Amino acid sequence: MNSSKVQFYNTLTRTKELFSPIDQKEVRMYTCGPTVYNYVHIGNLRAYVFVDTLRRTLKYSGYKIKQVMNITDIGHLSSDADSGEDKMTKGLLREGKELTLKNMRWLAEFYTEKFKEDLKMLNIEMPEKMPFASDYIKEDIKLMKKLEDKGYTYKTSDGIYFDISRMPNYGVLWGGKRIHDEDETRIAKNQEKKNPEDFALWKFNEKIGFPSPWGQGFPGWHIECSAMGIKLLGEQFDIHTGGVDHIPTHHTNEIAQSECATGKKPFVKFWLHNEWVLFDNKKMAKSDNNFLKLGSIIERKINPIAYRFWLLMANYGTKMNFNWEALEGADTALKRLYRLYVELDKRVGKVDREYQKKFQEYIEDDLNTPEALSLLWILMKDGGISSADKKATILDFDKVLGLGFENLKEKKIPREIKKFAEEREKARKNKDFKKSDKLRQKINSLGYEIKDSSEGYKISKI
């Protein structure tokens, strides 16, 4: 049965609201995916850990999900507001490839596969659909024709633009106030524009592009998401996610063109946005070489799930400053959780209802993962719950947390370690504590630890 207590912070209303889908049978959700001209960085990946937590929470609360995550392989310029170098062109030049649509698709497919590998390593569930923008040119043109017929467009020497003065409530998503100071730089300086914030629906390109009624070129980045969202989810749907940097331009323009074309408001009921991951207290950016790939974490022999764990320590709407010390601390804590789990009874008992109720309260309160993780630690240390029931409850929590407990197996202890442990146990019985401590240190140096109890000793991997 669907929960009636799920609530999210809605950027559109700037308040926390109880969630209720348009169709009670299914939650329809659109996620802004990557522009696949390069590897994604760990700052980008926060958006997908966030939306995976959202998706898992909705499923945990009884909802069926239909999620679309677009793959942008055309039309995204280096500035979100229609100026600068085309990102896919930039990628082709970097790879030394000829500028053709075929090569553009090759580049997109290559980096999409790398992106999917990152999602898999972070235990992120795949959406129901991951469409390439270049496969929806007809839908882009159809949506543009609707806007043209209603008088929302005009032509300049470089493209077809949307006239924002025709929409009285333009900017409703950000309430008429800029979210970040640097957003002023997003406004492209084009003397032919009627208004500085008018945005491109189509950009002309005589050398490379797709045919259209207005001339060869590419759809604007904003129209692509609207066209795919409407085609795959309908003219109105429940949730749209993305980073906070999407609010003032990309998502604002999606609302404008979608609602003006269809005449239906709101285009989306709930807009949810994740904050940035900073690196050296600056936003990660490929253009500034100020970013880290997930591979950089793996090279340091840190479990990529530790990065997911670290992200869950803060609310998705809070800025986080990445540093290696913090991630290494998260990795150590996660290993400890894993060790405690593996030491539990091999049997899986029943979910503790009191813990489950508390956990659900936290995650349904705008994805309060910090409190949910605190509860997980409390559960791990609770001696009043049987080992088997504790295991079942942890697995229940992990349906949302996605930390991979169900895949953990107790590792076989090497014969050499067992031999040292037996020698140590014999030394303890003979009260030779000096030899016992020396053997413990030897075991620790080989990556294992030994714990004593009234029932004997237990060896585990550090």
Q: Is the dihedral of CA 387, 392, 393, 394 positive or negative?
A: positive
- What is the SS3 assignment for 309-334? HHHHCCCCCCCEEECHHHHHHHHHHH
7-288 CATH fold? Rossmann fold (3.40.50)
3-state class (DSSP) for residue 122: coil
Q: Taken in order 25, 229, 81, 193, is the CA torsion positive or negative?
A: negative
Query: Token digits for 420?
Result: 């040292």
Give pLDDT, residue 234: 98
pLDDT score at 3: 56
The rounded distance, in Å, linking the Cα atoms of 56 and 369 is 12
CA torsion angle 375 380 381 384 (round to 10): 90
Quote the pLDDT of residue 452. 81
Which neighbouring-strand residues pair with 77? 86
SS3 state at 30: strand
Q: Give the residues across from 91 on adjacent strands.
A: none
pLDDT of residue 261: 98
CA distance 84 to 420: 65
Predicted local distance difference test score (pLDDT) of residue 179: 42
φ, ψ at 71 (rounded to 5°): -115, 115
Instruction: Give me the phi and psi of 332, to 5 degrees please.
Output: -65, -45
Written out in words, the top-level CATH class of the domain with range 321-407 is mainly alpha
Distance CA 443, CA 453 (A): 17
Q: What is the pLDDT of residue 181?
A: 44
Which residue ranges make up each domain of the chain?
7-288, 321-407, 415-461
Joined together, the tokens standing for residue 349 give 């008992």
* SS3 label, residue 459: strand
Three-state DSSP class for residue 1 = coil
What distance in Å separates the CA atoms of residue 218 and residue 220, rounded to the nearest whole number? Answer: 6
- Per 3-state DSSP, the chain is made up of helix, strand and coil in percentages (nearest 5) of 45, 20, 35
Residue 4, number of CB atoms within 10 A of its CB: 10
Would you write out the chain's pLDDT as a tens digit for each of its 462 residues?
A: 455 699 999 999 999 999 999 999 899 999 999 999 999 999 999 999 999 999 999 999 999 999 999 999 998 887 666 767 899 999 999 999 999 999 999 999 999 999 999 999 999 999 999 999 999 999 999 999 999 999 999 999 999 999 999 999 999 998 864 444 444 444 556 889 999 999 999 999 999 999 999 999 999 999 999 999 999 999 999 999 999 999 999 999 999 999 999 999 999 999 999 999 998 878 877 666 667 999 999 999 999 999 999 999 999 999 999 999 999 999 999 999 999 999 898 899 999 999 999 999 999 999 999 999 999 999 999 999 999 999 999 999 999 999 999 988 766 778 888 788 888 988 888 888 888 888 888 888 887 888 887 667 777 776
CA atoms of 198 and 186, how far apart (whole Å) = 12
Q: Say what the pLDDT of residue 282 is.
A: 81
State whether the Cα torsion 8-14-18-21 is positive or negative. negative
How far is the C-alpha of 295 from the C-alpha of 314, rounded, in Å? 23
